[in-house]
Amino acid sequence: MPALIGVLPSGAVAVSVAVDSRSAGAPGGGTRTWWNGSWGRMARRDIWLVSDSELWRVRGRLGGDGGQEVSYDFTDEASACAVVERMMKTSAGTWRDLTEAIRQESNRRRTH
C-alpha cells in the first residue's frame, strides 16, 4: 500500500511504495530514463519521466529492483522536468540518460 510522504509546493503528491521486482522495470511508452551509474542496493538511483500527454509522472527509485520508490504527478512538462533535475542534483553519482539505449534495445529485441 502506498504511503503519502508529502505534497510539493506545486501541488504534486509524493508517495512511497515498496516495489515488487516483477513490476520494477521502467514503464512503457512516452518514457525517459536516467540512472546514477552506481550499482548496489544502497547506492543505485533510477528516475523515470513518463507522460501520456495529459499527465506527467516522475518516478524515483532507491536501491534497484525491490527498492523504495517515490512518484510525483504533474499536469505540465516543465514542472515535471524541474523535479527530475532536482532529484539528480541532490543524489550522488554520474547521471546517465538511458532513454535512447533502452529504446534501441527494445527495437533490437522486437526484430530478433
Q: How many domains does the chain have?
A: 1
Contacts of 78 (CB under 8 A, 6+ apart): none
61 burial via Cβ count (<10 Å: 0-12, 13-18, 19+): buried
d(CA 17, CA 92): 22
pTM, rounded to two decimals = 0.70
Mean pLDDT in the chain? Answer: 78
28 or 78, which is more confident = 78
Residue span of the structural domain in which 78 resides: 3-111
Could you report the per-residue pLDDT of 39-54, keeping only the tens digit for each?
888 899 999 999 998 8
Q: What is the mean pLDDT of residues 10-37?
A: 53
At residue 3 the predicted structure's pLDDT band, cuts being 50, 70 and 90, is very low
